[in-house]
A and B are shown apart, each in its own frame.
Chain A
Amino acid sequence: MSQATLAIRRISGHAGPAPGAGVERAEQVCKLVDTTTCIGCKACEVACLEWNGYAFSQTTFNNSYQTMPTTSWNYWNLIKFNEHEREDGALMLLMRKDQCMHCAEPGCLAACPADGAIVQYTNGIVDFQQQNCIGCGYCVSGCPFDIPKFNSNTKKMFKCTLCSDRVSEGLEPACIKSCPTGCLHFGTKDDMTFLAEKRAQQLRENFGMEKAGVYDPQGVGGTGVIYVLHDVSNPEAYGGLPKDPYIPWVVQFWKGPAKWIGNLAMLGGIIGVTLHYLRFGPKQVNGWKHKEGGKP
């Protein structure tokens, strides 16, 4: 993607048009997680730590295979394990790789007050720039997926980068690289959507999972991570994946109309007192003779 600007446009002494001229590159990248083929091996968790240089954290045992309750500032990729009873009584172990969803309309970015602390690249990756982060935690309120996590030592926020460093060099994210079952795929959004829909169709037609489908929530403009779910009508069963995520109304109002209302009110106040001064001037007491017994 980063080499897109180096695509050849014209070539000297060349017979015919430049090879590849007019070809359009899809810039939007996407990660596809097929929960139906995940075996919960956590290779992606380890690969994420390794690539990003974090040590393995203490695990929390909570009667499940899950490493810890939620992602953390130095643990960006977490398989969420959920025991789920199907309508026909069958028990299923649902496993979903939880990480930043890289929303097209990111709530964290909308909420963030610091210049350049959160950016969205043209390839769709939403990335935190810790050198600009002030550690206010507004992104925590803005995120509909509970993803940004605070490092209380450095006072900076962290989350999955979708391996923007690898992707910019034409490599796929570390988690994708490590998956042994091929349940993780990486490519353009178009290709991943095509693949996901195809897989969902296969599940519906050949495996009797009538409710299988693709999770690509439109409330946040679609996401850079999409899931194939056995039952797309019940994403909550997969460790609290919200059914219809959107940027919280309060955050939308706070970062939108409230700015105007507040700023106009403050400006109105300043203009108001200035006009008062111009019209009525100061209250002087010195030299002013008090009228005895002013009206009660």
Chain B
Amino acid sequence: MSVSQVVSPVRTGDASGDRIQRYSLGERVNHWIGGLFYIYCLVTGLGFWSPYMFWMVVLVGGGPAARFWHPWLGLVFFASVCWMCKLWFRDMVITPEDRAWHAAIDHYIRNEDEDLPPIWRFNWGQKIFFWLMFYGAILLLISGCGLWWVESIPWSLRWLRYLSVTVHVTAALATIGGFIIHVYMGTAMVRGGFTSIIRGEVSAAWAKTHHRLWYEQVRKGTAGRE
């Protein structure tokens, strides 16, 4: 599209040369705020989850401090997810290309990337992870408020107390599952991914391999679709 969108820091790339901008500064800051506060909630939450993991709570300042901060920093995590939605909502809609890619996901798992259909800025797995975190954050927030003010839930509505525990634990475990895969892929598996979310850049070859439609868009200078 227009030149301004090519150089705009948001969701576009500077296609000149070998390096392509994949994430704007705002996107990176957002990602790391979300990541940091998710990890804090994870570490403290796991401490409350099991006595065998309570030492993690001790590491971040002890039980009472963790109990005090977990819900508040959970709110910060939730806010970062809202911001992330603003940045990525459109990019994360599942497209027909994603469905074709998903049908061929075995090739992705086996690192046979040359046999995969081309995709846009994010692949099906990344999008699923986004939606997992999106719905997970909403459920964690609502159920977390139930745990936060458990005594304010009247005795006659005590099923809400039990529901809060169930939903919070289930949503936490679901996001943890996604989180394990996300961290593994971002650090060990997809080389170049970790640098991209820190420095914001990927190589042209990387973009071409993993997100060919997006790469071509960037090359044509139309990355900011619509």
Contacts and interface: CB of A to CB of B under 8 A. Distances in A.
A286 B177 contact: no
B54 A258 contact: no
Contacts of A149: 151
Nearest to A250: B162
Contacts of B205: 285-286, 288, 290
A280 B111 contact: yes
B44 to A, nearest CB: 10
B180 A254 contact: no
Contact of B177 (A70, A146, A269, A296): A269
Interface in A107-149: 113-115, 132-138, 140-141, 146, 149
A286 B114 CA distance: 14
B114 A283 contact: no
B208 A290 contact: yes
B166 A254 contact: yes
Contacts of A138: 48, 150
A113 B50 CA distance: 7
Nearest to B104: A295
Contact of A277 (B113, B177, B184): B184
Interface range, A side: 35 or more
A243 interface: no
A168 interface: no
A86 to B, nearest CB: 25
A294 to B, nearest CB: 5
Contacts of A284: 191
B22 to A, nearest CB: 13
Interface in B188-226: 188-192, 203, 205-206, 208-210
A45 B128 CA distance: 58
B181 interface: yes
Given A113-B48, A282-B191, A285-B210, A254 B151 contact: no
Interface string A261-281: 011011001101100110011
Contacts of A240: 155
A245 interface: no
B63 A277 contact: no
B162 A113 contact: no
B50 A263 contact: yes
Contacts of B163: 250
Contacts of A294: 113-118
A265 B114 CA distance: 32
Nearest to B173: A262
A269 B176 contact: yes
A96 to B, nearest CB: 16
A157 to B, nearest CB: 9
Contact of B166 (A250, A262, A265, A276): A250
A240 B155 CA distance: 10
Interface residues on B, range: 35 or more
A100 B169 CA distance: 28
B51 interface: yes
B184 to A, nearest CB: 4
Contact of B188 (A146, A265, A282, A286): A282
Contacts of B192: 285-286
Contacts of A250: 162-163, 165-166
B23 to A, nearest CB: 17
Nearest to B205: A285
A240 B27 CA distance: 54
Contact of B54 (A115, A135, A251, A281): A115
Contact of B67 (A140, A155, A283): A155
Of the listed residues B51, B165, B203, the one surrounded by the most CB atoms of chain A closer than 10 A to its CB is: B165
B69 to A, nearest CB: 11
A286 B190 CA distance: 11
Nearest to A296: B117
Contact of A262 (B100, B147, B169): B169
Interface in B65-112: 66-68, 100, 104, 109-111
A248 interface: yes
A259 interface: yes
Contact of A259 (B50, B64, B177, B206): B50
A65 interface: no
A238 B132 CA distance: 47
A288 B206 CA distance: 10
28 contacts: A113-B48, A114-B63, A134-B64, A134-B67, A135-B68, A136-B48, A137-B151, A140-B151, A141-B165, A146-B155, A149-B151, A155-B64, A254-B165, A254-B166, A259-B49, A263-B50, A265-B177, A266-B177, A283-B111, A285-B192, A285-B203, A285-B205, A285-B209, A285-B210, A288-B209, A294-B114, A295-B104, A295-B115
